[in-house]
Amino acid sequence: MSTRTKKRSRILNFVLLGLMALLAAMTAIVIATTAGRGMMPTGYIITILIIVGAILIVSIFAMKRKWSNIVMIIISGIACCVMIYAAMFTGEFIKTIDKVTGKASDVTTIKVAVLKDSRYDSLEDLEGKTLSYSASDEEDTIDKVIADINEHVSGCDYTKSQNLMNLADDLRSGDTDAIIVNEGQVAMFDEVDGYETFKDEIKYIYSIDITKSVEISEDSLGDVFTLYISGIDTYGSPAATSRSDVNIIAVVNRKTKHIQLINTPRDAYVYLPNSGDMKDKLTHAGIYGIENSMQTIGDLYDIDLDGYMRVNFTGFQEIIDSIGGVDVYSDQDFTVAGGGFSFVKGMNHMNGIEALAFARERKSLENGDSQRGIHQMRVIEAIISKLTSSGELLSNYKGVLGGLSESMQTSVPSGTIYGMINQQLSDSSGWNIDSYAVTGTGTNAETYSMPGTQLYVFIPDEDSIEEAKRLIKAVQSE
């Protein structure tokens, strides 16, 4: 063998040794990160070890043969690429799960607002002025906000308005110089005649976030559990306290791979834990925190919810776009009021913004709010179906996980999520997803959050509520 040939052989062996070391290291990382969290089935681990072990053993023998070490360099290189991709995917996935299942919290954004054409441009301009707040605000929150304001400006006089409309009236009339308002409540002005433009009449000159921890269980959920899915009407943090436009119970039976979705219309007229003997819209419960919404739903159906999943509209769009859109069935032809989106009776392929418009529309639908709830569940079903029955999550994991990490917060323990992944990998069959929408009739009534005015509300039909209870128990007892 010539010196040149020997040198070439040594270089190839050196390259092969490097690939073998890299393959062993990446395999160890993938197994450690997945198996350590119970995410990968034992059968998968054994298969990976056998394949990688075989590649390493054959590579050792191939180092003595100049032709075969080239073959094994190619094979080892491909295997390394696969394991590097697997390590990147699992690392990103675990990072996302740790983020969305991290310490749960409610973030209430309180703002100081003045009339848009006023001369006040900063908090300091309000020295010695009058600031008003609504009586519906929680006292401890208002106390914290006032204490914070007093650190920046002195001599302010604080007054309490009976309700949000009085608060707006006082600002419009000049009876107060500024108002302290929960950002989540500002959107409620759209519901009242004569106040639809109020949010465009004001400007914000100060803001403070009040963070409240939400108590969650660290124990993994069992084979059967119930979740409250809340879709909030914001484009920011999923922790924001805001109106809940999507209110769905998901009853999950891991043994039978059956999910029952129960939708309750956002305008359902119900008792809130904090509303005493006065009813309110279900959507308003979210303004007072996720636990308030959970208890409201739990009381309505006589169940204890095991956890929640809160999603904002930003991630809703991003997730759907990242998986190439979804196919959703519509019962009727309709065009979104003022939005320009049109849908036909039958299957419709939708990107993120189209699916969002489909899920939010009610004015142009025959059954209004009830049909909107059905649409919301169908979009959720389409997302679950596509993610569990295709390679979209693997091929577009950065987009999917990026959308989840920025738009979702859940109290479901990470161990439960990893366990369900393990189960899905072991048994790749699809899930059976059923949906049911509570029915009822619309009317106008006074609400706890906006007393003194008549708002549109939805009166749930008692027989429909009982049917929802029956469906929940049926899945729980399978």
Q: Residue 125: give its domain's CATH number.
A: 3.40.190.10
What's the token pair of residue 187? 């959107």
List, for residues 88-116, the tens digit of each pLDDT value: 888 888 888 888 886 677 888 899 999 99
Q: Are residues 360 and 422 in the same domain?
A: yes
Distance of alpha carbon 207 from alpha carbon 475, whole angstroms: 45
Mean of pLDDT values over 22-45: 89
Find the helix packing angle between 352-360 and 313-322, rounded to 10°. 130
Distance of alpha carbon 212 from alpha carbon 138, whole angstroms: 13
- Helix or strand holding residue 461 (H, E): none
The pLDDT, as a whole number, for residue 111 is: 92
Residue 174 lies inside a defined structural domain of this protein? yes
Residue 202 lies inside a defined structural domain of this protein? yes
List, for residues 281-334, the tens digit of each pLDDT value: 999 998 888 889 999 999 999 999 998 988 886 667 778 888 889 999 998 989
Distances (CA, A) of 253 to 338, 409, 441: 40, 21, 32
Between 340 and 273, the more confident residue is 273
Q: Are residues 397 and 349 in the same domain?
A: yes
What's the mean per-residue pLDDT of the chain? 86
The pLDDT, as a whole number, for residue 397 is: 64
DSSP secondary-structure letter at 440? E
Q: Are residues 298 and 338 in the same domain?
A: yes
Percent of the chain with pLDDT over 70: 91
Mean of pLDDT values over 213-234: 80
Residue 95 lies inside a defined structural domain of this protein? yes
C-alpha triplet 426, 407, 217: angle, nearest 5°: 60
Q: Are residues 165 and 81 in the same domain?
A: no
On whether the CB atoms of residues 253 and 224 are closer than 8 A, the answer is yes
Using alpha carbons, select from 187, 136, 128 the residue that is nearest to residue 158: 128
Domain termination site, one of 73, 100, 127: 100
On whether the CB atoms of residues 21 and 80 are closer than 8 A, the answer is no
pLDDT at 4 over 70: no
Structural domain range at position 129: 105-213
Residue 154 lies inside a defined structural domain of this protein? yes
Max Cα–Cα distance, the chain, nearest Å: 100
Q: Are residues 138 and 252 in the same domain?
A: no
Banded pLDDT at 225 (limits 50, 70, 90): very high
Q: How far is CA 223 from the centre of its chain?
A: 22
List, for residues 183-207, the tens digit of each pLDDT value: 888 888 888 888 889 989 999 999 9
Q: Are residues 324 and 369 in the same domain?
A: yes
Query: Which pTM was predicted?
Result: 0.81
Q: Are residues 24 and 53 in the same domain?
A: yes
List, for residues 392-448, the tens digit of each pLDDT value: 666 666 666 776 777 788 888 888 888 888 887 787 777 888 989 899 999 999 999
Q: Are residues 277 and 205 in the same domain?
A: no
Rounded-to-10 torsion of CA 15, 17, 20, 22: -70
Residue 88: which region, alpha, beta or left (left: phi > 0; alpha: psi -120 to 50)? alpha
> Which residue type, as a one-letter code, is found at position 395?
S
Domain termination site, one of 60, 81, 100: 100
pLDDT at 67 over 60: no
- Helix or strand holding residue 174 (H, E): none
Q: Residue 384: give its domain's CATH number.
A: 3.40.630.190
Residue 218 lies inside a defined structural domain of this protein? no
Distance of alpha carbon 248 from alpha carbon 57, whole angstroms: 53
Question: Which ranges constitute the DSSP H helices of 260-351?
Answer: 290-301, 313-322
Domain termination site, one of 171, 189, 213: 213
Banded pLDDT at 275 (limits 50, 70, 90): confident
Banded pLDDT at 159 (limits 50, 70, 90): very high
Mean of pLDDT values over 31-59: 89
Place of tokens 């409540």: 185
The pLDDT, as a whole number, for residue 15 is: 86
244-253 vs 224-232, strand pairing mode: antiparallel
The pLDDT, as a whole number, for residue 2 is: 61
Residue 396 lies inside a defined structural domain of this protein? yes
Residue 219 lies inside a defined structural domain of this protein? no
Distance between first and last Cα of the chain? 72
pLDDT at 13 over 70: yes
Place of tokens 């990968």: 40
Using alpha carbons, select from 369, 411, 413, 383 the residue that is nearest to residue 246: 369
- Helix or strand holding residue 137 (H, E): none
The pLDDT, as a whole number, for residue 138 is: 77
Q: Are residues 83 and 143 in the same domain?
A: no
Mean of pLDDT values over 374-399: 74
On whether the CB atoms of residues 176 and 170 are closer than 8 A, the answer is yes
Between 362 and 478, the more confident residue is 478
State which of 62-76, 268-282, 357-371 shows the largest mean pLDDT: 268-282
Mean of pLDDT values over 37-53: 89
On whether the CB atoms of residues 273 and 292 are closer than 8 A, the answer is yes
The pLDDT, as a whole number, for residue 425 is: 78
Q: Are residues 351 and 240 in the same domain?
A: yes
**In the chain, how many domains are there?**
3
Q: Are residues 208 and 127 in the same domain?
A: yes
Q: Are residues 196 and 173 in the same domain?
A: yes
What's the token pair of residue 44? 């998968």
The pLDDT, as a whole number, for residue 391 is: 61
The pLDDT, as a whole number, for residue 251 is: 95
